[in-house]
Amino acid sequence: MSSKHTFEQSITKQIFNTLREHVIRSRTTITVVFLGLYNENELHVDEAPNIKENITVFLKNEARKSDFVFESSRQPKWFIILSSSGEKEAAAFLRRLFMTAKNKGIPALENHKILFSASVAEIANNEGTFEELMSKGVSTLAGSLSKGPEQIEYISDFKKRPSEKIRISILDENAIFRRVLYHTLKNLNLEYFETEVKEFQDGYEFLESDWYHSSHTHLIIMNDILPRQSGLDVLHKIRMLPNNRRFIVFVMSKRNSQEDIIYAYESGADNYLIKPFNLRLLEIEIKRTFERLWT
Amino acid sequence: MIKISIDFLIKGIGVLSIILVFLCIYVVLYRIKGKTADKKIKNYIQEKQDQWYQYLNDEISLSQELIPVDHTEMKAVEKIFLVYVKNVSSPIIQEKIRKFSNEYLRKYYSRLLRRKRWGLRMNALQRIVDFKIDSLAEQCKKIEKKGNLSSEERFYLLLIQSIFYEAAFIEKFAGLSSELSEYEYKKLLIGFDSEILKQLTYQMHKFAPVYQYYFIDVLGIRRNLDFLPFLEDNFSHEDSEIRIRSLKAISEIGIIINLNKYKVFLDSPLWEERLMLTKILGAFSLEQVYPYLEKLLQDENWQVRSSAAKTIGVAKDGKSRLEAFIATAQDQYAIDMAREVLGGES
């Protein structure tokens, strides 16, 4: 939804804080763009308010419906919140903006040469206040404007992702292989994630434990065939639980027929590893899985 | 009537009781020995498995501590190695296991190969395959020349030959006149890498007919597109079983490049060939092959009609095609089959 708000600090702060809280919950970064006019003095913006208004309309048209564009009388002239975006997306957005302003011109302002510069802050945690962000954004924008037109400076103070605890369960009948997997997973160097690894000899032992009754993201690596309760039984049970999306399930199996693989995926497996498999490959697949949790 | 004195009877019972007591003591001691060995194996594994993980994953070099000093430790190492071989695919780990087994487990398995107990010999043969103990290949070759080997032993000896004497094995594979069952023969072939299978395709004509059939089946199981030209070449084979199995193998592979090569089976006098064609046509878009499938849907054979209807039914827009067919067709059998696939909806 496109914002109709003009830049009022309190409303902006409120919206920003709401979106920032969602960053942690959804593991999706937002990015704040501080946009300034390089040639502000030549344009006499304050004496010709239609210039600013037209630029705001242009920015709102260029932004997505889910982004927020705020206008201000002071620097930054525009404060834009790009939802579900990181630095890279913000940079692409700005380059497109600079290019359109330069080549096509801004509607109703074709006779004016409009030159922007910006500072960009990716927000991946809820540390720091809105005021700190504003202060950092404005000072970095000043640096960017001093370098010339179409400059982008990046603020890294707010982009550190918070560390998150994840649980990993290994379900395999063979104690030696469980230990092999335990070492492999313990040695995983997952950025932003702390792992707690636990071993279970079968599905029954796992389901009887209260280990999986937590809100943590939970990776389960299990064999399809297990004594007492099989891996596929466990899979069916956990996929019936509310909020079951927190479980990431890797099924290990000696069976490599297409039917078995399809059945496992249809039952809710996220990955199917055919034994014997490469431990390095497993490590990389787990890393990629956790990297993808953040967008 | 036989007369036995009480004295003799008492002495007899006494002797039998003593034998029984000794037997009981033997059984108890045997069990205690077994349990002690199991405990020692368990302890070794618990103590050393982490070090083995580190060694096999290149984190530490081989230490003296890891080298087994007695049979119990060798059995423990065997258990650890087996877990890696069966569950972990890594050329580095496999090579480390191979080297270690050749160096430190060779004598152990060599002794087992000479034991009278079949189970122990089989265990040694299986481990030679699992751990790729090439230093025992010669000994296995000599064993093969002996008589009274079980079919299981013969099978493993062949497998060992195929691993360690690949070229010679391919050479004599065609003349393989051993009594391998279908299961054993296929298991042997499935274990071969694609290059060996490719070389065997040049010699298939020399195989006994039944082995030719199994060989083609295995090519289908392997689902390797490289075998497609060979299988297609079999379309002109005089043995209909070879043609049918080749078509079946192609349907398993599931990728067909040149549709024209298959059109000849539309009018085949053998319903099995027409049946396989209905499955193969599923690899193409319905747009390309519908006229052929419609023809097969009206085939005289029930299985061909059924399979053609299923192939159409699972394809994109297949259901609407079947509905259109039901509305316009004259052949009541074909209409019934189309209805069956649609689940009686039409």
**pLDDT tens per residue across span B211-265:** 899 999 999 988 888 899 999 999 999 999 999 999 999 998 888 888 889 999 9
CA B50 to chain centre: 32
**Which of A224, A215, A272, A275 has its CA nearest to residue A245?**
A215
Residue of B nearest to A223 (CA): B87
A183 touches chain B (CB under 8 A): yes
- Arithmetic mean of pLDDT, B191-214: 86
Please give the domain boundaries of chain A with CATH numbers for all domains. 9-155 (3.30.70.270), 164-291 (3.40.50.2300)
A256 touches chain B (CB under 8 A): no
Interface contact A176-B79, CB threshold 8 A: yes
Q: Could you tell me which residues are beta bridge partners of residue A277?
A: B88
CA distance A75 to A41: 13
Contact A112, A43 (CB under 8 A): yes
Kindly report the nearest CA distance between residue A120 and chain B, in angstroms: 43
pLDDT of the residue at A46: 63
Query: Can you tell me whether residue A118 is helix, strand or coil?
Result: strand
pLDDT of the residue at B88: 94
Contact B83, B130 (CB under 8 A): no
Fold of B167-255: Leucine-rich Repeat Variant (1.25.10)
- Arithmetic mean of pLDDT, B292-300: 91
CA dist list (Å): A80 to A58, A74, A148: 13, 14, 20
Per mean pLDDT, which range of A40-49, A85-94, B325-334 is the poorest? A40-49
- Does the predicted interface ipTM exceed a cut of 0.85? no
A275 touches chain B (CB under 8 A): yes
Residue A10 has pLDDT above 80, yes or no: no
CA distance A234 to A218: 13
CA distance B244 to A277: 35
- Arithmetic mean of pLDDT, B184-189: 83
CA B137 to chain centre: 22
Residue B114 has pLDDT above 70, yes or no: yes
Residue A99 has pLDDT above 80, yes or no: yes
Kindly report the nearest CA distance between residue A198 and chain B, in angstroms: 16
Residue B308 has pLDDT above 70, yes or no: yes
pLDDT of the residue at B82: 95
Query: How many helices (DSSP H) and strands (DSSP E) are in chain A?
Result: 10, 10
Q: Across the beta sheet with A152-155, what order do the strands follow?
A: A68-71, A78-82, A30-37, A116-123, A152-155
Contact A148, A86 (CB under 8 A): no
**Which residue is it, tokens 């193409």?**
B284
Phi and psi of B149, rounded to 5°?
Answer: -105, 145
| Per-residue pLDDT band at A122 (split at 50, 70, 90) | very high
Q: pLDDT (tens digit, 9 = 90+) per residue, A106-116?
A: 887 777 788 88
Average pLDDT, chain B: 88
**Which of B153, B73, B83, B137 has its CA nearest to residue B105?**
B73
| Per-residue pLDDT band at B178 (split at 50, 70, 90) | low
- Arithmetic mean of pLDDT, A134-150: 89
CA distance B338 to B319: 9
CA torsion B124-B126-B130-B135 (nearest 10°) is: 40
CA A123 to chain centre: 9
Binding-face residues of B in 77-96 toward A, CB within 8 A: 79-80, 83-90
**Which of A190, A179, A165 has its CA nearest to residue A285?**
A190
pLDDT of the residue at A5: 43
Residue A274 has pLDDT above 70, yes or no: yes
The CA angle A122-A126-A127, to the nearest 5 degrees, is 95
Q: pLDDT (tens digit, 9 = 90+) per residue, A176-188?
A: 999 999 999 988 8
CA dist list (Å): A22 to A67, A125, A156, A191, B314: 14, 10, 19, 21, 43
Interface contact B53-A177, CB threshold 8 A: no
pLDDT of the residue at A6: 47
pLDDT of the residue at B345: 47
Indicate the residue of B53, B83, B89 with minimum beta-carbon distance to A174: B83
